[in-house]
Chain A
Amino acid sequence: MARLVHASDRALLVVFDDAITVAAGNDVRVLYEWLLNDPPAAIVDLHPAYATLLIRYDPLRCDPDALAREIEHRVGSLSVRPVRNGQLFEIPVRYGGSHGPDLAEVARATGLREDEVVAAHAGCVYDVRFVGFSPGFPYLAGLPERLHTPRRGAPRSHVPAGSVAIAGAQAGIYPVRSPGGWNVIGQTDFILFDSTRGSPATLAPGDRVRFLVAGIGS
């Protein structure tokens, strides 16, 4: 059962589940799209994540308790709402070598050969659960279980833009240079964020991603 908490004096957090489940992810997406297309007054920002939706509002322009009741009402009526059909994006990746400095470590940790890691990573379709962390960074679900590996012991202070990375059950791509602790296994030129567009992030919750092997090594 979903619960609603005051995350601060200017934000509500809808928690659909404490675990990362497909059902919670779908509920987040449906509520997010509903609030995006038909926002109650005073909503400033929405941030969907794995199992939660953070709703930031202007406390000078609304009664937080009335807003909470409105959100609760919508949470109770999600089953009748439509869901947007996502698009499939194919993203070419140069794996390993200087493009993927952690490919060898992932191979070692999983007991696979490097080309087997690449084949597994590029051999499935991922769901975009949400975008967050840094501009355009997609959190992807669907990483094959045999590729689940812990984060790097020490995060890097600078992960280059375009780095294709995995951590635990998660997969993602760093769209801009940023700090990061995920294992970088490849590199892509695919544009994930463009501030000149109305919708700056290329990917959105509900889209799907397939990685294409553009090269291995060097």
Chain B
Amino acid sequence: MSALCVMAPGFLTTVQDLGRPGHAAAGVSASGAADPVALRIGNRLVGNGDEDAGLELTMVGGSFHFEADGVFALAGADTGARLGDRDVAPWRPCKAQAGETLVCGALRGVARAYLCVRGGVAVPLVFGSASTHLLTGLGGFEGRALRAGDRLLLGSPGKGATFDRAVDPSAIPGYRPGEPFRATEGPQASWFAPEAQAVFYDTRWRVAEACDRMGIRLSGPSIRPVEPRELATEGVLSGAIQVPPGGLPIVLFVEHQTTGGYPKIANVIAADLARLGGLRPRDTIRFEAISVSAARALLRAQEEAIDALFF
């Protein structure tokens, strides 16, 4: 098996695929790529399946040494990457020769980028998934973020061919930078008065420093339910926007705790989840109310646009 060696790990680099949904009742959240759209496109560029595992780079990339000839693609943020003396742009397949090192720098524009290598990164699967769940040390490479000296085995390439050109994801619905995050009503939306809901949807929220794979804390005005009420702990999912007693919303993310006891005012729609993975501390964001059926139409349009990149 050929391998990729981590020379420098960057700020926070983990093995991720599309996650392991189906184990919430055991207290395990799905984890998986924070920006699954980028991971899937990166995989398709190198002829992998959508579900193959790649490396998720956060804020600052790392350096990766190819032990054998390989094909890779970077997707998501531009990392200013270089392979030997060549610049490597994101969103296009590239060939690496045995002995070459890919050096990724600071991520530009968004918080995450993916390194996908033909054949995928091979780690033991936990409940059918290669994804790292950092908080609990489950899955991925020894359940942790990568370190210098780690040697990642690569899988054998499947039947898919490497794509022959670069793609431009900027027109994918739900994936355009700067758009508001569309949200459907949360299960406890009615706990909040129309005025409080108006504040929620009118505010340009600032992403707080506490912004990681578990959740994205927002700063801005406090919003409070009409009256303090106790919520019996219930199941929650990624994208749920819960409002703790302090009044500052938290968007639950891919490694969220599976239950919560705070009211949820809204829920980011499936088509906009990948863009949450791009958020960095101090970014500003806005939410926009949308119906469940409109959200589903957007998700269909997003899937069609991703497929259309590869016609």
B142 to chain A, nearest CB (A): 13
Q: Is A13 an interface residue (CB 8 A)?
A: yes
Q: Is A185 an interface residue (CB 8 A)?
A: no
* Given A52-B234, A60-B299: A136 and B23 interface contact (C-beta under 8 Å): no
A2 to chain B, nearest CB (A): 14
A48 B25 Cβ-Cβ under 8 A: yes
Task: Find chain B residues with CB under 8 A from A195 CB.
Answer: 126-127, 138
Q: How many residues of A contact B (CB 8 A)?
A: 46
Task: Find chain B residues with CB under 8 A from A47 CB.
Answer: 24-25, 234-235, 258-259
Q: Is A109 an interface residue (CB 8 A)?
A: no
* Given A9-B267, A9-B295, A64-B296: A135 and B28 interface contact (C-beta under 8 Å): yes
Q: A64 contacts which of B257, B264, B292, B303 (Cβ < 8 Å)? A: B292
CA distance A186 to B120 in the complex (A): 44
B136 A7 Cβ-Cβ under 8 A: no
CA distance A45 to B234 in the complex (A): 14
B303 A60 Cβ-Cβ under 8 A: yes
Q: How many residues of B contact A (CB 8 A)?
A: 40
B26 A20 Cβ-Cβ under 8 A: no
Q: Mark B123-156, 1 if CB is under 8 A from A, else 0.
A: 0001100000001111000000000000000000
CA distance A204 to B23 in the complex (A): 12
B23 A200 Cβ-Cβ under 8 A: yes
CA distance A133 to B255 in the complex (A): 11
Q: Mark B1-33, 1 if CB is under 8 A from A, else 0.
A: 000000000000000000001111111101000
- Among residues 43 to 84 in chain A, which have CB atoms less than 8 Å away from a CB atom of chain B? 44-54, 56, 59-60, 64
Q: Is B63 an interface residue (CB 8 A)?
A: no
Q: Is B49 an interface residue (CB 8 A)?
A: no
* Given A9-B269, A9-B295: A54 and B237 interface contact (C-beta under 8 Å): yes
CA distance A53 to B22 in the complex (A): 14
Q: Is B239 an interface residue (CB 8 A)?
A: yes
B296 A9 Cβ-Cβ under 8 A: yes
- Among residues 22 to 77 in chain B, which have CB atoms less than 8 Å away from a CB atom of chain A? 22-28, 30
Q: B235 contacts which of A6, A48, A64, A136 (Cβ < 8 Å)? A: A48
Q: B25 contacts which of A18, A20, A46, A193 (Cβ < 8 Å)? A: A46
CA distance A44 to B128 in the complex (A): 14
Task: Find chain A residues with CB under 8 A from B80 CB.
Answer: none
Please tell me which stretch of B82-90, B111-119, B180-188, B200-208 contacts chain A, meaning at least 4 of its Cβ atoms lie within 8 angstroms of it: B180-188
Q: B136 contacts which of A8, A54, A64, A134 (Cβ < 8 Å)? A: A134
Q: Is A130 an interface residue (CB 8 A)?
A: yes
Q: Mark A16-37, 1 if CB is under 8 A from B, else 0.
A: 0011100000000000100000
B266 to chain A, nearest CB (A): 9
CA distance A6 to B186 in the complex (A): 8
Q: Is B240 an interface residue (CB 8 A)?
A: yes
Q: B296 contacts which of A13, A48, A59, A136 (Cβ < 8 Å)? A: A59
Q: Across the interface, name the chain A residue whose C-beta is closest to B139.
A: A195
Q: Across the interface, name the chain B residue whose C-beta is closest to A200.
A: B26
- Among residues 213 to 237 in chain B, which have CB atoms less than 8 Å away from a CB atom of chain A? 232-237
A133 B27 Cβ-Cβ under 8 A: yes
* Given A45-B22, A134-B136: A51 and B28 interface contact (C-beta under 8 Å): no
CA distance A45 to B22 in the complex (A): 4
B186 A45 Cβ-Cβ under 8 A: no
Q: A50 contacts which of B21, B24, B234, B236 (Cβ < 8 Å)? A: B234
A69 to chain B, nearest CB (A): 15
CA distance A56 to B299 in the complex (A): 16
Q: Across the interface, name the chain B residue whose C-beta is closest to A63.
A: B296
B-side interface residues toward A, CB under 8 Å?
21-28, 30, 126-127, 135-138, 184-187, 232-237, 239-240, 257-259, 264, 267, 269-270, 292, 295-296, 299-300, 303
Sample 20 A-B pairs with CB under 8 A, ordered by A number. A6-B184, A7-B186, A9-B267, A9-B292, A47-B258, A50-B232, A51-B234, A52-B235, A54-B237, A130-B259, A131-B25, A132-B25, A132-B233, A132-B235, A132-B259, A134-B27, A134-B135, A134-B257, A195-B126, A199-B26
Besides the known contacts A15-B187, A47-B235, A199-B26, 19 further A-B residue pairs in the complex with CB atoms under 8 A apart: A6-B185, A7-B187, A7-B267, A8-B184, A9-B296, A11-B267, A45-B21, A49-B233, A54-B235, A54-B236, A56-B237, A59-B296, A64-B292, A132-B258, A133-B257, A195-B126, A195-B127, A200-B127, A204-B25
Nearest 3 A/B pairs, CB to CB: A47-B235, A54-B235, A9-B295
